[in-house]
Amino acid sequence: MLGSRIRQLRQQKGISLTNLAEKAGISKSMLSQVEREIANPSVDTVRAIALALEVPVFALFLDESGIRNGLVRKADRLRLNVPGSHGERELLTPDLNRRIVLVDAQLPPGASSSPSPVIHRGDTCLLILRGSLQVHLEEEEYILEEGDTLYFNGLMPHYYVNCGDSVAEYLAIASQEWER
């Protein structure tokens, strides 16, 4: 599924196999093997491909064959899987093909949103619904408590850690920058 999703996004964006491999810093043969589901890429390679495609990492793991408009019922939310993260994420917008994406996320105590800092195009705003998060944003750290918000440019390397004793729940609202 991962390989076919990468191929689908690459073709939708009109990017050649060679160009995507160069942008991601991997060999053309490696990318070809990933797309054909012959090779399993490392987490770093998946991140590099997502960055080169200008999509969030979790976009590579979604099956968007049934894209819907407007209403998203709680029972119909798409689950987002991020490699190396122990958190749970649900997409609250119908799909990722929107200018704004809204994600409901939960992290257990001590868990991190990702194993290393991530970057993406667009802006992000976090709203803490319960618990607390330690947000690592470039060289700065912020402790956010219930009701706090933080707005930042997604190109700043970032990740979050649940620094409390209970599950932290937060909304991540991200703008997407791309040509429609």
What is the CATH code of the structural domain delimited by 2-53?
1.10.260.40
* pLDDT at residue 133, as a whole number: 97
Taking the model in full, what pTM does it have?
0.67
Domain residue spans in the chain? 2-53, 74-175
CATH topology for 74-175 is Jelly Rolls (2.60.120)
Using 70 as the pLDDT threshold, list the residues of the chain that sit under it: 62-69, 97, 177-180
Q: List, for residues 108-140, the tens digit of each pLDDT value.
A: 999 999 888 888 888 999 999 999 999 999 999
Per the CB < 8 A criterion, the answer to whether 76 and 96 are in contact is no
Tokens 């009701």 map to which residue?
A: 147
DSSP label at residue 59: G
Per the CB < 8 A criterion, the answer to whether 53 and 9 are in contact is yes
